[in-house]
Amino acid sequence: MSDNRTIRGRGALRRLARAGAALAVLVGALAGATATSGVAQAATQGPCDVYAAGGTPCVAAHSTTRALYAGYGGRLYQVRRSSDQAVRDIGVLGTGGYADAAAQDSFCAGTSCVITVIYDQSGKGNHLTQAPGGGAAPGPDNLADATLAPTTLNGHRAYGVYVAKGTGYRNNHTTGIATGDQPEGMYAILDGTHYNGGCCFDYGNAETSSTDTGNGHMEAIYFGNIKVWGYGSGPGPWVMADLENGLFSGANTRYNANDPTVNHRYLTAMVKGAPNQWAIRAGDAQSGGLSTFYSGPRPNAAGYNPMHKEGAIILGIGGDNSNGAEGTFYEGVMTSGYPSEATENAVQANIVAAGYANSSATTGALRGTGSGKCLDVPNASATPGLQAQIYSCSGGANQTWTRTGDGRLTVDVGGTTLCLDAAGGATADGTKVVTWPCTGGANQQWRFNADGSVTGVQSGRCLDVAGAATADATPVQLWTCWGGGNQKWTLG
C-alpha cells in the first residue's frame, strides 16, 4: 500500500480434489501438535509440512520463534550487536524445535542488538533483510530491536520482530513467489494489541521496485486501524488485504461489516488469492479455529482482475516502502497455490499447539517501545527521590528491574534496593516517577496491561515518557493513558 493514493475500485480455483486428502492433512497436523520433550523439542509436523500435504507448499517461511518444518534445524534469524557490530545467527534448540533465545541473550548481554536477517526456511533463499528506500520513504529502513517482543512457546523463551515506525524488511529478488495472477496463500502470527493507523503494517507479496506500480501489483496481509482505503466493523484493528492502491476488507466497497475488529494478543491472520477469487481469514493463535471474513471475487476496479503481482516480499511496510506503521511479527509463510480451508484449519491447529504465551520474564530491562531505550536510574545513584528517566540500554544494574509478586518494580543500585514510586503518592498528570525506599504503598505498585502499558495501581495513570521524547535522560512521569508509544513498555 502507498501513502497519497486514490481509491479504485478466469478461472477455476485450485482446490483439493478428495475429502480424504483434506482429512489426512488435518489428522497429520493434530498428530504433530505435541512436541517431544528434551533439548530437541522436535515436532512431528510444522505448518509448512501441513501446507505441503495439502498440495500448496511453502515457498517462503519466516520465523524468529520456531522451526516451521519438522525437519528444519537451521538458522532462524541473525542479530547484530551495537558494541562491536558483530553478528550471530540464532538457530533452533533442535530439529523442528524452538528458537535458541539463550544464544541471543548471551551474545547481546551488556549491549543492544538488532535483527538483521530473517531467514527463509523453505530452502528457496527468500530471506528478509533491511528494506531499501522506496517511493514513499528514501530509506533504508530501520532494523528491529531484537529484544522488544519477548514471548514464550510452550514455556520456551523466544523473541518476535517488533516493528516501530520506520522499521521494515524486504526481498525484491525472490524465487518461487507468485507473480501475475498465480494463486498463493499466506499467514502471519501477529501481536493483535500492537498496531496503529499508519501505512502499512504488511506481510506478503509486493513490488520488486519498492515503488507503487499500480492497482493489483500487491497481495499482502495488512493489520491495523487505518480507514483511508477500507475498513471493517468496530473501531479496529482489522485484518485486511493490501492489493495496492487499496486496503480491502471485502469486495468492492470500502466497508465490510463481516470483517470484525480483532485484537487477540496472538493473532493468526490469513490472506489468499487466485484468479478472480480471494479470501481473508483470522483467529486466535492461542485457541480455537479460524473465521472467514471474506471469500469471493476480486474488486471490479481496473487492475485487480487479473492481478499483476510482482513477487517481492515485505514485512512491516507498504509496497512503496511506506513505513509509518507499527506491529509485531512472530512467524509467517507464503505458499504456492491456493490453500483449501481444511489445510488452513490444520495449520491453525498446529499454531495453537505451538503454545504462544506472554513472556514469563520477571527481571530485566524495562524498554520503552516508542524510544527503544531503557528505564534508568540516573547515574546509578541510590539517592532516594531521583526521577527515573530513559537512557540508551547498557545492561547495567541501574536498568535491571524486577517485577515482584505484589506488583512492585524494584531496582538494586549500589547495594540498595529501591522501588519505582509515584512521588508523594500523587496521582495527577505530570507526577514524577522516582526511585524510593520500598514502603509497600499503592503508589509503588504497577500493573502490566495487555496493550503494553504500565499503570500505577493507585493512580490508574500510565508510566509515560515526558513529551513522547526519545533522547537520553528524558524524564518519566505519570500521565493519562492515551495509547501512545511513549506509554508502552516491555520487561525482559
Could you list the active site residues?
244, 320
Residue 197 grid cell = 493507523
User: What is the 3-class SS of the chain, one letter each residue?
Assistant: CCCCCCCCCCCCCCCCCCHHHHHHHHHHHHHCCCCCCCCCCCCCCCHHHHHHHCCCCEEEEEECCECCCCCCCCEEEEEEECCCCCEEEEEECCCCCEECHHHHHHHHCCCCEEEEEECECCCCCCCEEECCCCCCCCCCCECCECCCCEEEECCEEEECEEECCCECEEECCCCCCCCECCCEEEEEEECCCCCCCCCCCEEEEECCCCCCCCCCCCEEEEEECCCCCCEECCCCCEEEEECCCCEECCCCCCEECCCCCCCCCCEEEEEEEECCEEEEEEEECCCCCEEEEEEECCCCCCCCCCCCECCEEEECCCCCCCCCCCEEEEEEEEECCCCCHHHHHHHHHHHHHCCEEECCCCEECEEECCCCCEEECHHHCCCCCCECEEECCCCCHHHCEEECCCCCEEEEECCEEEEEEEHHHCCCCCCEEEEEECCCCHHHCEEECCCCCEEECCCCCEEEEHHHCCCCCEEEEEECCCCCHHHCEEEC
The amino acid at 16? L
How far apart CA 458 and CA 82 sit, in angstroms, is 38
How far apart CA 360 and CA 337 sit, in angstroms, is 38
The single residue listed with the C-alpha cell 470500502 is 254
CB 400 within 8 A of CB 364: yes
